[in-house]
Structure 1
Amino acid sequence: MDNRTDLWTRRTGENHTLPPRLRLASTGTLTYGLPVGEVLGVSTLADAELVAGASGLDRVVQRLNVMEVPDVLAWVKPNELLLTTGYPLRNRPAALGHLVTGLNERGVAALAVKPGAYLDELPAEMLARADRLGFPLIQLPEHVGFDDILNQVLTDILNRQAAILARTEEVHRALVQIVLCGGGLCEVTEELAVLLGCAVLTLDGDQRVLARAGDPGVLRALEGWLDGRPGPGLHGDRVVVPVAAGGLGHGLIAAHFPGGDLSDTEVGILERAATVAALVITKQQAVAAVESKYRADFLRDVLAGRAGDGARVVAHCAGFGWDLDRPVAVVVAALDLDAGSTDDGTAKQAQERLAAAWEAAVRRRDRSAAVAAFAHEVVAVIGAPAGEALTDLVGGLVREVSAADSLVFSTGVSRTAATPEALPGAYDQAVKAVRVGRQMHGPGETAHFDALGVYRLLSLVEDTAELHAFVREALGGLADDADPEAADLRRTLQMLLDTNLNVAETARRLHFHYNTLRYRIGKLERLVGPFTEDPHLRLNLNLALRVLRMRGI
């Protein structure tokens, strides 16, 4: 009894020998059945003689067929053992050589011929071709009936497959029991390594190792081989099986059998183990989703000032691994979705990707930071270093997340919050920084609340109706967005204010003739007043134009 058989006996209490090894079909995939060499060992073929193609004895027989018509090539299937008396080609013995070539091209396992009644002997050309192609050619004794061969060989194939299914089902139940008793991927992987006597790795969708078991040296070799990203399937003494559930790929299970081949039982166990691993992963994802929602809900309460006093917030966050008992800054990242990307499913996937990328980037820099995904933004509460170091820290985070994904997002950074009680205000500052930065500079902007200048003051005005009333009073008819001429005149007015009323420079920037600009200045003064002479009026106009640019805030 070999080592794997002994392991099976200890695990199941059954004393079976493991079935012979599988062979590879021409496609490179595993096939269940009997090699031609074993088929020749059944009792009904005891007197049969292999007359050619001895190098093909490892071809796998999965089914049997009888040749009754000359054009049998249209009806044969791969891995068949074809039986014939030669009757269909009795008048064309030369065609038997071409028959061997055609059967070999279609993946037939072997051809068994019963000469005598219609063929005195097999042609030399037929034997030569069979030897050249490694196609087994079997000469049957006259006293053996085809029905006896069919019954016995098919029975052996079915018994083999039934034994494989019974054993893999037993292992499947054992692995499921591990999960039901609270075991995870580590326990499932360790059980596989013991049952199969090999090294096993369980990997996620990005081929990061989730669990490992087996000889450390073999595991290192297997990991190095997996760096080449081999696809699922059999690769010599290694096999890779996909872990999938619900049409989604969750990773891979890879096994390495140094110096050995895979058996059909082992492959079946790995496939069943992949199903169990998918169950574990989906369970972990469900638990993680619930925990993530709970953490996000609590952080939302903290940022809204509903989580209680500072001591309670610090203690509760410590249970999540968050340290808020230190100077921190709130960073808000919000997706910039264009009009063509408003589909709910697409937006949700993008939000999940952004959250995962931000959490990974933040964790690498500050393991005690709080990170959570809200409905339309990702919020991070990170330790705030002094001075420009915070700007550098956030800049590095934004660059890393942007490089990891093609998503475009705007980022807002608050002032430093010294205590948990200051976090609601800091969150409000970061949200406003996102909105102002996006309005001022477009998508993908990173804005710090302290660097917003006058926009910071304007954003602190909570009564937006009062702001809009101020705009209408200062600009009058120029505040009308529906009037293209008003919008054009506002642009001229803004440029004049930006150049400190330098008419020549304004005309150059707007590509106007000098006299055209003088005419426009006169028109503007009739609409809003003598701004070229009144500095207080210029201040009001400048503020009104800034408020217009902040519309929606």
Structure 2
Amino acid sequence: MKVSTALDIGSRFKAEIIAGKKGLIREIKTVEVMEVPEVENWAREGTLVISSFYPVKDDSHQQYHIVKTLIHKNAAGLIVKLGRFVDWIPKEIISLAEKSDFPIIIIPKDVAYIDLLTLINRQLIEEADKIVSDEHNLFYSFKKRVFESTDEAVECLSAIVSNSIYIEDVEGRLLYRSNKFSQDEWRNSLLLFSVPCNENYRGAITEWTKKLDSSINHCIHVPGKRNRFVIPLKMKGKIIAFIHLIYHRKEQFHAIGMNVEMIKGKVYDTIISDFMEFHRQRMAQSEQLERLIVEEADTQNLLIHFKRDLNQVFFSENESFLEHCFLFQKKINDLIMEIAEVQRAVVFEKQFQSYALLCFPRNYAMEKAELKATISSFLNKSSISDTYIAISPLFHNIQEVDQQMNAVTKIMRIGEEISPEERIFTYDRLGIYEFLVKISREPLVQQYVNEIINSLSLHSDQSLLETLEVYLQENGNASRAAEKLFIHRRTMTNRLKRIRELLGMDLDDSENIFILQFCLKIKGLN
């Protein structure tokens, strides 16, 4: 209980504060009536002292000493009854109290101690009982904790109920979720921005919104195979998201119901804090990118392009794009933290596309396989595992950012076309396709390709063309090619013999192998 509460109680007795207003936040632990002036023997931290100054009514120096001792003991404050034995508080005492933020409250002479003491002690007991009650509250740790991020708050809630916790927007798209996640009749995907699997999810959300728009309803209890509370988060009176709090024990049901307002208030504040921090970082990174270009930093640089189909829906929704964009960029920042030797990193958007510029030491030598493995490992265990990533070659001149942006955008497009089953594309592997795509549309090139492989592509046995492709992919190893095609080794030998006859080419000749690989690549692109 704070001194400000005691002042509120005393206001019905015309109590007023005359010094140390800043000390109203001091905590009261006990209340004592001063009968003897030797306060150093009985006063302790948190004591609120009530006195008429009768023992020292004629000694202002002793009055000053009492207040000074109470301040030294870190007492909560002093209530003085004026008009009976003392008519005023000396200026020296008021000055001392102001300097020390020690609250001094005065009450009229006709106020009975017992009346004031009874009310203050009753409030102390009630607050003590509340603290005991809080400590037995399942959500006590959540209430007392200060969270650095919404992800941390969601994990704390999940640990308390030992179950899945997730937050969806008003369209049902997933914004946050706990690491502990189990599929249920409502949701089976943990991908960022994915929608529920329930066929009637839009109707259910509409119904929840109608019920929760009422000031009477603070949450909805949804029974089922997995019981849950749906708790709305509101901004300016409008629902912006729903917390899905799943539970399985009866005591959790009552605890959640009692703590709904606290839970949604704390989660809302944390989301807003996250969003404000994102805006701050976004402005700082924009300035950092401009500064890097101007300074021409002596670094090895890498540009990464990120693309997700689930992100595209927000690009036409100007009102909500930033909110959802910041969640995706948080995941990108988490990924960058996993990459070794990064000195500086700038995450930015351009034309609704997300990029990250990574700066490495001047002598950095990129291990492409290691970098791809790091990124792949992160994606596989994250909620953005469906993200496509295109990686530029290393470049020294930071002013080439726009040029590299065009390069990774092309690599992304080519990678999605020719290797849609893959997620990570690198320039060193796919850069050549930029040239192949251009020449693949040339009539002379198409004519050349047809002349070389039409004998196979137009043959009645279509397995011959597939056999040639797999044989070349396996670097001319007939046994491995047969295993991959699930055919007998003898069948493979017979097919290769037929292919040689139709093409009129030696499949062991390196020049012929190059020509055939070129033709098959061009055919695939067309």
State the TM-score bracket (shorter-chain normalisation): 0.3 to 0.5
TM-score under structure 1 normalisation?
Answer: 0.40
TM-score under structure 2 normalisation?
Answer: 0.42
- Highest Rg: 1 or 2? 1
